[in-house]
Amino acid sequence: MNEACVDTPGSGVQDVLRFEITILAVENSGGREDGLRHVFALTLANRLDEIARLNEAFKEFAAEHAIPVATRRSGNVVFDELITNVINYAFDDDAEHRIEVRVEVNDHRLVITISDDGSPFNPFETDLPDTALPLDERDVGGLGVHLVRNMMDEVSYDRRTDRNVVTLVKYLEPKGKR
C-alpha cells in the first residue's frame, strides 16, 4: 500500500490516514479475559478505487493478527457491498467526502464500523431480494445488503448527528478451535 498516494479530502486534515494500535484490553466483561485487542482504522475518499485500497490493507491487518481467512474474506465482501452503496448513493454533491472505517478485533469478535456524512440512510431497511426466483427472473438488486446481513452475526445502523454509522459484528471461534 502506498500511503503517499492517498488523496486527502478536504483541507488542513492530517495526512496519516491509516493507523494501527494494539492495546491490552483492560475491560473484562463478566471477568472474561478478552486478550489483546487490535484496532485498524482507515479514512477513505468517496471513490470506488479506495475500496481496493481498504481491502488490501484489511487483508494485511488480518494476516498480522491471525484473523481466520474466511472471516477476512467476509470482511472484504461487506466492505465492497456497503462502501460501494455509500459512494454511489449517499452524497448529493460532487464534493469529496470522507468515509471512516474502523475494525476492532479480540479473541472473540471482530467489530467493523463504517461511517459517512451522507444523507441519512439505513441500508438494513431495504427490501429483501427474492433468492428463490428462477434464473431468467433473477437480478442482483438488493443482494449486496442481503449478503452483509447473512455473513455477519450482528448488524446495526445509527444516525449520529450528521453521520450514518453502520456497525457489524462477526463472532470468532476461540483460537484453540480454529
Partner 1 sequence: MNVMTQEIDSVTVVRIEGNLDTNTSPEAQEHFDGLLEKGASKILVDCEKVDYMSSAGLRVLLGTVKRLTAAGGSLRISGLNETVQEVFDISGFSTILAVFATEAEALKGF
Residues found near partner 1 in the complex (CB under 8 A): 48-49, 51-52, 55, 70, 73-74, 76-77, 80-81, 84, 129, 131-136, 138-140, 143-144, 146-147, 150-151
Q: How far is the CB of 63 from partner 1 (least distance, A)?
A: 12
Which of 19, 124 has the CB closer to partner 1? 124
Cα angle 145, 151, 153 (rounded to 5 degrees) comes to 105
Instruction: Please tell me the distance from the alpha carbon of residue 121 to that of residue 17, in angstroms, as a whole number.
Output: 25
Which of 17, 83 has the CB closer to partner 1? 83
Which of 13, 133 has the CB closer to partner 1? 133
Q: Report the interhelical angle of 69-89 vs 143-151 (nearest 10°).
A: 140
> 55 CB contacts (<8 Å, ≥6 apart)?
76, 79, 80
Which of 118, 144 has the CB closer to partner 1? 144
Q: How far is the CB of 20 from partner 1 (least distance, A)?
A: 22
Q: How far is the CB of 2 from partner 1 (least distance, A)?
A: 16
Which of 26, 140 has the CB closer to partner 1? 140
Q: How far is the CB of 86 from partner 1 (least distance, A)?
A: 12
DSSP state at residue 29: B
> 173 CB contacts (<8 Å, ≥6 apart)?
68
Instruction: Please tell me the distance from the alpha carbon of residue 92 to that of residue 147, in angstroms, as a whole number.
Output: 26
Cα angle 113, 116, 118 (rounded to 5 degrees) comes to 150
Q: How far is the CB of 32 from partner 1 (least distance, A)?
A: 28
